[in-house]
Amino acid sequence: MLKPFAALLLAVAAPAAIAQTAPAAAPAAQGPFVLDALPYAANALAPVIDQETMELHWGKHHRAYVDNLNKAVTADPALKGVSLEQLLARVSTLPKAVRDNGGGHWNHRFFWALMAPEGKRGAPSAPLLAAIERDFGGLDKFKAAFQQAGATQFGSGWAWLVVTPEGKLAVTSTPNQDNPLMDLAPVKGTPILGNDVWEHAYYLTYRNRRGDYLSKWWDVVNWGHVNELFAEASARR
């Protein structure tokens, strides 16, 4: 039997203990970069990408990249007002924290928009299909090349489809949070599709089966957005 005072302490302490374990948004970090809301509900891509993975991936991993990027750029007055794309274009001259977290922020912001709920995904446009046919020999061959790039990226990284400076489509991969916009990337270009092959992107559902994740991922691709990115990249040349 608890004494009244001890019972009162428990009654007061219990809600606080529950609150500490409940998921909650972290306070916004100070700095120029912000974590935008996901463009759909966290369960909108299930079962291809489960809700918990989306909540952790966006709410914890992406948030950490934004927070740490803000810390890195506010520590250096010379980086004040520099856009994310400008940072990436000369990232080889900047601290590694800018490379890792600037890449992490750009890549994830790009990634969320490349996926969409059922009914809003569309299909590759005729101009994109023609370019895929020209440069890969067909959609299935392109998908196989993209999946191969993701499957063979050692450790953490990304698979990409880019429009190269010569106007060709190319598949490439990058380690960690690097991307083809970085001055140090071996294959440079404008990304129009990218898939995150870090274990945090798929492990809760797919465990160690990265290949299964890569092949299922096509089911949630927002082709309408990919078509727009392709048209923009082609028009800029």
Interface residue list for Fe ion (CB under 5 A) = 196, 198
Cβ 178 to Fe ion shortest distance, Å: 13
Compare residues 62 and 225 and give the one whose CB is closer to Fe ion.
62
Residue 210 and residue 151 in contact, taking contact as beta carbons nearer than 8 Å: yes
Compare residues 198 and 223 and give the one whose CB is closer to Fe ion.
198
Residue 163 and residue 233 in contact, taking contact as beta carbons nearer than 8 Å: yes
Report which residue's Cβ sits closest to Fe ion. 196
Distance CA 135, CA 19 (A): 54
Cβ 128 to Fe ion shortest distance, Å: 25
Compare residues 103 and 124 and give the one whose CB is closer to Fe ion.
103
Please list the residues that pair with 221 across neighbouring strands. Answer: 115
Compare residues 63 and 225 and give the one whose CB is closer to Fe ion.
63
Compare residues 68 and 227 and give the one whose CB is closer to Fe ion.
68
Q: Residue 189 corresponds to which amino acid?
A: G
Cα–Cα–Cα angle for 232, 185, 182, nearest 5°?
A: 60
Compare residues 135 and 196 and give the one whose CB is closer to Fe ion.
196
Please list the residues that pair with 171 across neighbouring strands. Answer: 161
Please list the residues that pair with 169 across neighbouring strands. Answer: 163
Distance between terminal CA atoms of the chain? 79
Q: Which helix (H) or strand (E) holds 173?
A: strand 169-175
Cβ 196 to Fe ion shortest distance, Å: 4
3-state secondary structure of 18: helix
Compare residues 107 and 227 and give the one whose CB is closer to Fe ion.
107
Tell me the chain's radius of gyration from C-alpha atoms.
21
Distance CA 112, CA 88 (A): 19
Residue 91 and residue 98 in contact, taking contact as beta carbons nearer than 8 Å: yes
Cβ 20 to Fe ion shortest distance, Å: 26
Cβ 161 to Fe ion shortest distance, Å: 18
